């Protein structure tokens, strides 16, 4: 039971990090110190985040089956990328998220640090 709870906690932390990467710029409009917080860039598609390995380790120690692949592929792709979405659509959506965040952070930089 402890290992299952630890695995679920890792999923929660991982989810919060993914949400921060996706919506950090919007949140930074409210909390101006946020752009100074350390963040990691999104990982290449073939790279598996260490949190995924940690979650799978806890699941196996708790008697559950782990999963292959990445956290994004296992939990988020079915929600974010419905069946039938092309590789080009994935790239466009990712680029759009990047552009929105860059614009938001540029706005914040201008507003907070250029006074």
Give me the residue label for tokens 């466009």: 92
Start-to-end CA distance of the chain, whole Å, equals: 53
Q: Which of the four pLDDT bands, split at 50, 70 and 90, describes residue 9? A: very high
Tens-digit pLDDT profile for residues 53-70: 899 999 999 999 888 877
What is the distance between the alpha carbons of residues 67 and 33, in angstroms, rounded to a whole number? 37
The domains of the chain are located at 2-113
Burial of residue 25 (number of CB atoms within 10 Å: 0-12, 13-18, 19+)? buried
The reported pLDDT for the residue numbered 96 is: 86
């Amino acid at each position: 039971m402890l290992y299952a709870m630890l695995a679920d906690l890792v999923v929660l932390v991982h989810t919060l990090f993914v949400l921060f990467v996706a919506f950090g710029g919007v949140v930074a409009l409210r909390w101006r110190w946020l752009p100074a917080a350390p963040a990691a860039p999104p990982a290449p598609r073939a790279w598996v985040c260490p949190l995924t390995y940690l979650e799978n380790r806890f699941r196996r120690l708790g008697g559950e089956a782990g999963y292959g692949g990445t956290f994004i592929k296992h939990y988020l792709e079915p929600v974010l990328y419905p069946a039938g979405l092309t590789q080009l659509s994935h790239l466009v959506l990712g680029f759009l998220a990047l552009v929105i965040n860059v614009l938001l952070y540029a706005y914040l930089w201008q507003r907070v640090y250029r006074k």
